[in-house]
Structure 1
């Protein structure tokens, strides 16, 4: 597992952003049903306050979605943990790890940073340029070198780098875009919220190696809509 470099002094936090606050968050995740110790440890070490506006730093380690501008949010830590865990579970059953992962919807960069601590190669696409610029700055400050980002329409995926062992979407559409599903390895896994704004479900689609996908429902969630185009 990739280990984060020691955060710079300004990223370590104090008070409501201290390591003690992160430890409480990690304990909450475990108590709330997150079982993967790797995921919990990454979230315990990652400075979530680094991914939000300073005015919201006191709420960084609460289990809440928070605004990041442009009508977008940073997801609840529990949701980030559950999606990451759901992705890894597919490979644990095969006694392996995903080598190449695609994220659709970089947003603040938080989910991407969690994934980049766990997999060798992480590719992330964001349609809003201003958010991507901020996320890239955060990635550099954290020393993440196994992550590539792209400003593009997320519904297009990243076809030049396909196929991917795993794909994760951090915005909800009525269905999974075919162009994204086509970029998944035949034995890969996709984790995404699907549904209308009033009723969304987290799903996991597992490739059977024969061209078919087995779909599972993992529970209700609430995400911003999956939009096309760039901004």
Structure 2
């Protein structure tokens, strides 16, 4: 068996003398690699244990549970859903159909909100008819008629305005009067007709006298101003 060949030692010069420096043996390199491999295995086992047990000694959560942020005793948050424009359009169409059905019912009574919307649309239409082609962007005011049948006591506090003394203005609606139960007349309206008699433009006291003299169920017409 041939003898193992040994690599010659390296020679270095120290204080003018040449000294030999032994090269590291293969056994030393093997032990170093073995130690590094051991440390790598220990680190891998530690990471696996932390994933399984958790950082605080509790069973680790599944990825889907951790993502959902579930906590003991607390329901996970439901994901936010963006509203679909198709659903919104369908709901609006359904609301319009239901509104038509309600209006066709013999027991239908217009709500205060529906009445305001209707009168507002009427005012906007009247204002649009009055505007010229060159006044599309201009603001304009228009009036609409509010026709009611009321009995005394009306429950209306009328007032006279210095800037417009020839009109009888509605200053307040009282709950105990017929105007409040009717729901048509609002603060800011002004009186124009009493039982077919035009009172608009008459002095305040003269116009009120028509209300004093009227009896039974009284036909009244008010006007409401809208700025379009």
Short-chain TM bin: under 0.3
TM-score, with structure 2 as normaliser: 0.21
TM-score, with structure 1 as normaliser: 0.21
Q: Which has the larger radius of gyration?
A: 2
